[in-house]
Amino acid sequence: MAATIMIVEDEPAIQELISYNLRNTGYVVLCASSAEQAREMVNDVLPDLVLLDWMLPNMSGLEFAQKLRQGARTKAIPIIMLTARVDESDKVAGLEMGADDYITKPFSPRELVARIKAVLRRRLPEVSDEVVEVGGLKLDPTTHRVTVSDQESAAKSTEIVLGPTEFRLLHFLMTHTERVHTRSQLLDRVWGDHVFVEDRTVDVHIRRLRRALEDVGKDELVQTVRGAGYRFSTRCEVGAE
């Protein structure tokens, strides 16, 4: 539930101010005073969102943001830029580069929190680590494992092996069942906004997910809704005879 937010800001006072407010709101906060430091921290802990000061000592915020967008693990992390300047070209550069939002100093803590919430809201499945169990499938985010919860198939451990993307896809579907998701929606919520990927790529990952589920006979949970998208449903998909 508690999202982790990384602050990259060289001015200690502002860093403290933000940090205090975010912790107060219930976020886990990581602080870095330079882009270099931030880069190291990212290797250890992946934040759910980055607050990035535009003006940094050595490496500019822009540069750091680009690095984030390049790395496979980090490319989907939302970035909110903090900028003191009202320089238009900066905003433009930042947004083109893929920042999710920007906020100009001075800002009110309330506004900052509001923007953070807004950006996180349209994000990957709520950062919950709770075990999801639907339709005879059990997915555990902490252990990163998917198993069949109906026993019948076998007394053996019936673990389903998935690639990272298929795992996130299944996680999202299992936490948003019965509802039809368009390919675009899935890309936004499972891949992330700035990741530019063909719509049809979703098909392929759905296919991979289904193939994995076939082994345990659970593949009919992932259903195609023609002209609309895909759906995870425990109800039979064919009303036929």
Assess 152 for contact with its own copies (CB under 8 A).
no
Give the burial class of 143: count Cβ atoms within 10 A of its Cβ; 0-12 exposed, 13-18 middle, 19 or more buried.
exposed
70 interacts with, out of DNA, its own copies, none, CB within 5 to 8 A per kind: DNA
Query: How far is Cα of residue 15 from the mean position of the Cα atoms in its chain?
Result: 24
Assess 12 for contact with its own copies (CB under 8 A).
yes
Assess 87 for contact with its own copies (CB under 8 A).
no
- Judge contact between 109 and 82, C-beta under 8 A: no
CA dist 28 and 26 (Å) reads 7
CA dist 128 and 178 (Å) reads 20
- If the CB atoms of residues 30 and 166 are measured against its own copies, the closer one turns out to be 166
- Region at 16 (left for phi over 0; alpha for psi -120 to 50; beta for the rest): alpha
46 interacts with, out of its own copies, DNA, none, CB within 5 to 8 A per kind: none
- Judge contact between 78 and 49, C-beta under 8 A: yes
Contact map string, positions 178 to 217, toward its own copies, x by CB under 8 A:
xxx-x-xx-xx----xx--------------------x--
Query: Which tokens sit at 195?
Result: 């990741």
ω before 106 within 30° of 0 (cis)?
Answer: yes
- If the CB atoms of residues 15 and 183 are measured against DNA, the closer one turns out to be 183
Assess 158 for contact with its own copies (CB under 8 A).
yes
Min dist. Cβ of residue 43 to its own copies (A)? 27
Assess 126 for contact with its own copies (CB under 8 A).
no
Burial 30-64 (b: 16+ CB within 10 A, else e): bbbbbbeebbebbeeeebbbbbbbbebeebbbbeb
Min dist. Cβ of residue 101 to its own copies (A)? 6
201 interacts with, out of its own copies, DNA, none, CB within 5 to 8 A per kind: DNA
Min dist. Cβ of residue 134 to DNA (A)? 20
Binding site for its own copies (CB under 8 A): 12-13, 16-17, 20, 88, 91-92, 95-96, 100-102, 106-111, 113-115, 118-119, 122, 142-144, 157-161, 163-164, 167, 178-180, 182, 184-185, 187-188, 193-194, 215, 225-228, 231, 233, 235-236, 238-240
